[in-house]
Structure 1
Amino acid sequence: MNPIVVIGTGLAGYTVAREFRKLDKTASLLLVTADDGGFYSKPMLSNAFAQGKEAAQLVTQTAAQMAAQLGATILTGARVESVDTGARAVVTSAGVFEYEKLVLAVGAQAIRLSIEGDAADQVMSVNHVDDYQQFRRKIVDAGHGARVTILGAGLIGCEFADDLAGAGHRVTLVDPNPHPLAALAPASLARGLLTALAARGIGMRLETTAARVDRTKGALRVTLANGDAFDTDVVLSAVGLRPDLRLAQSSGLGTARGIIVDEYGQTSAPGVYALGDCAEYADGHSGTRVLPYIAPLMSAARAIAKTLAGEPTAIDLKPAPVMVKTPSFPLALVPPPVRCMAKGSWQETSYGEQIVCRFYNEQGLMCGFGVASQEANMRQILLAELGSRVADAA
C-alpha cells in the first residue's frame, strides 16, 4: 500500500502525523518539507526575545528525532512541485511519490506591503524559525536598546512589541486603526492594551501607515503616510498572513481565502485533506472560516487522523479563546463571527480590575467574548456560557 503523505512539517503537519500514529502503528507515513524539518512551536516566535532565546533553542527536536518518534520517513529539503490528484502522486524535487491519502499542511505566507523607498527590501517578516534567526541577528547587531518599528498592531505585532520592549528595545507600533487589535478585541479592551503598551514605553503611530523606508546614515528612515518621519534600526512587518494556496491551485483544488475543506477536512479532491493556516474550514454556525489559531489546528489534526485511520470523523470546531501573549495586558478573546458584527454589539462588565466583554448578536445571543486580565476560571465560565448560547441558536 502507498504511504500516507503529509506535505509540511510545521505544527499542523507534525500534529496530524502524531495523532495518526497513535491510531495506526504500522501504516507507511511520509512527510515532505522544503526546510530541515526541525520541530518548533511557531507561536513561540513572538515571545522569545525577552526570554533570551536563540533560534536554535526554539527547535526542540530534529527531523531525525521526529522520524524515529513517528516511525516515519521525513524527506527534508524537498520542494513539492505539483500534485496529480487523479494519479495520487506528489511530484517533488527529490522524486515522485504515490500516496494512499494526502494531507496539505503548507501554512501561510506573510502579506507583503507595498512600500516605497530604497530600503523597502529591508522590511522583515517572521513566519518561520529561520526568519526569527535573521530578525534576531539584526537586532543584536544594532545593540541593546535597538530601535524596532513594527508595522501592524494586530495580534502578532502587539506580542512582538511587548516582548521586544521587555528585552530592553525601543519599539514603535504603526497601524491604520485608532487602537491595537482592532480586528479582534472590543474597544474597551483594545484601549486597555493601548494604555499598557504605552506605559511599557512603546511608541504609538496610529491611524496612519508606512509609506517609505529609506536608508540614512547608520539607520533606516520610516516615512509615514501622514508625513511624519523617524529613524529606526529594524523594521518588522506584522500585518498578517495569507493562506498559501499555490500548490492547491496548481493542483486544481477548490480555494477561496484558504483551501476549502469539508467537515472532515477533505478538500475537493477525494483522499486529499488540509489543515492549519492554509485551510478554510466548514463551520455550521459561521459558514467557512480561515482559523489561524492553535485550538482549531489541534481539533482538525485529531479528526483528520481518525479519518485517515479509517474512522471518518467530523472536525469539532468548538469555541476556543485566542490567548494574546502580551504580559503587560494579557487577553483572552473569542472573536464573534464576521457575519454577526454588523448587527450585534459588545456589552461590558467589570469584576474588580477584570474587564469582561460579551458580544450579542441581533437576536440577543452571545457569540463572542473578551476578557482582561484573563485567567482560567473566568475563561471556563465564559466558554460554558458561550456554548449554551450556541446550543440555543442551533
Structure 2
Amino acid sequence: MNQPSVVVVGSGLAGYTVVRELRKLDAAVPITLLSADHGSFYSKPMLSNALATGKTPDSILSAGTMQMSGQLDITVRPYTSVNAIDVAAGSVSFEEGGQLTYDRLVLALGADPIRLPIPGEGVDEILSVNNLDDYRKFREALESKRHIAILGAGLIGCEFANDLAAKGYQVSVFDLSPQPLGRLLPPEAGRFFRDKLTAAGVNFLLGTTVERVSKENGYYQLFYEGGKVVQADMILSAVGLRPRTRLAAVAGIQVNRGIAVNRYLQTSIQNIYALGDCAEVEGKVLPFILPIAHAGRALAATIAGNPTLLHYPAMPVMVKTPACPTVVSPPDPAVQGEWEVVAIENGMKALYHDEAGNLHGFALLGTATVERNTLASRLPPVLA
C-alpha cells in the first residue's frame, strides 16, 4: 500500500518551513514541493538591507534546488506553476501541462505586491521587490543610478530607504500617511523615527501621494500635490502585499482577505491546508517570519498524525533600519486603550495599555530596543 503523499505549492519560507518540520517527524512520507520559480532557498528578509550588509543576489542564496531536495529527501519541481486544483480528484494541474495527485495539499502561495493605479508614462517600469529574482533586477537597475523614489513608508519601504541612503543614494519616500510606519507607531514615535532617517539622508514626502508619472530623457518625473515634482532615476514600489488567493477561490476554497484556515491551518476543504502570507488565521493575516515558524511546526505535526492547534505568542517585529533601530509589537486593533510615550536618551518607548492598565503592545526605538524581551514577556498571546 502506497504511503499518503504530501504536495506543497510554494518554495518560499512557508513552504520550506513546513517541509523541514514534517521531515523531522516523518522520514518516509513522500513530499513534492512545487515552485513557480527556481525553487532555491534564501532569506527573503535579507533583501531589504542587502546593500549595506554587502550582500549580492548570489550571496543571498542559501541552497540550490538540488541541495534542498537532497537535504530534505523530497522532490522539488522548479518552474512548475499550478493553475488549478481539482478538489474532487485530489489533483493539481500545471500551466506547463500535466497534473499531480495528492493526499494532502499545502498552499504556501505567498502574496503579490500591491500596485498603485498611477497614470502616466513609465509606470510599467516601476519596480517591486518580492523575491530574489525581483531583487536581482533591482540591483542591476541600480547601476549608474543616483536618485531613487520609493512609494510607501511602511516597514519594507523604510528598510529599503535606509539601506539605499546608507550607500550614498539620494532617496525620496512618498506616503499618504502623515508619518512613516503609520500602522506600527504612535505619532510621537513616528516623528522620532522620521527625524532619525531624515538625518541619515532619507527625504520623506508624507501626507501626499504620487498623482502622475512621466518619463523624459531617461528620468522619471513624479508629480504630487497638484504640480510639485520630484525627478528620480528609478522608482521602487513598496506599498504592501496582497495574499495570493485566486487559485484557492477558483477551486471553491473559502477566501476572505487571505485563504481562510482554522487553528489547524485547515481550509474549508478537509485535506487542503494553507500557511504563510497567503493564509488568514481567525481573521489575522500576519506576513512576518515568526508567525510562519509557529505555523510550520503546528501544521507539520498535524499532517504527521498529531492534530495540533496553532498558538501565536507575542511576536515582536524588528525593523531593519540601523539609522533608528526599532522593534514593534502592534496591539490588536480590537483592544481599546491608549499609547503612553516616553522619551529616553537616544531613544523612545511607547507602550499600549488597555483600559484596565494591561500591556497589549509596544514600540521601542533607538536605545529603548534593549527592553524588547522584558516587555514581550508581559504581552498576551496573539492566539492563545
* TM score, norm. by length of structure 1: 0.93
Distance 1:19 1:90 in 2: 23
Does 2:296 match 1:301? Answer: yes
Corresponding residue SS for 1:263: coil
- Offset of residue 198 of structure 1: 0.6
| Cα deviation code 1:275-316 (max 9, x no counterpart) | 11001112xxxxx21000111110000000000111111111
Alignment-derived partner of residue 277 in structure 1: 277
Identical aligned pairs, as a percentage? 42
Alignment-derived partner of residue 59 in structure 1: 61
Alignment-derived partner of residue 316 in structure 2: 321
Select which of 97, 102, 123 maps to 2:100.
97
| Cα deviation code 1:98-119 (max 9, x no counterpart) | 1111110000000011111111
Select which of 366, 369, 376 maps to 1:373.
366
- Offset of residue 376 of structure 1: 6.9
Corresponding residue SS for 1:292: coil
Amino acid at match of 2:209: T
Distance 2:128 2:225 in 1: 21
Alignment-derived partner of residue 43 in structure 1: 45
Please report the RMSD computed on the Cα atoms of aligned residues, expressed in angstroms: 1.7
- Offset of residue 377 of structure 1: 4.9
Corresponding residue SS for 1:290: coil
Residues 91-240 of structure 1 correspond to what in structure 2 (within 5 A)? 91-92=93-94, 93-142=96-145, 146-240=146-240
Task: Tell me the number of residue pairs that the alignment of Structure 1 and Structure 2 aligns.
Answer: 381
Q: 1:331 to 1:376 in 2, by over 3 A?
A: closer
Residues 327-338 of structure 1 correspond to what in structure 2 (within 5 A)? 327-338=322-333
Amino acid at match of 2:263: E
Corresponding residue SS for 2:294: helix
Corresponding residue SS for 2:153: coil
Amino acid at match of 1:359: Y
Select which of 19, 23, 26 maps to 1:24.
26
Corresponding residue SS for 1:114: coil
- Offset of residue 94 of structure 1: 4.6
- Offset of residue 355 of structure 1: 2.2
- Which 10-residue stretch deviates more, 133-142 or 291-300? 133-142
| Cα deviation code 1:320-367 (max 9, x no counterpart) | 101100000011111111222xx4210123454342211122343321
Distance 1:2 1:376 in 2: 47
Amino acid at match of 1:207: G
Work out whether residues 263 and 314 of structure 1, in 8 Å CA contact, stay in contact via their aligned partners in 2.
yes
Q: Which runs of 5+ in 1 are unaligned?
A: 283-287
Distance 1:227 1:275 in 2: 44
| Cα deviation code 1:29-83 (max 9, x no counterpart) | 0000110101111111100112232212211110110000010000111110111
Q: Give the ranges of 4+ consecutive aligned residues of structure 1 lying more than 4 Å apart after TM superposition.
A: 374-377
Does 2:360 match 1:357? Answer: no
- Offset of residue 253 of structure 1: 0.8
- Offset of residue 162 of structure 1: 0.1
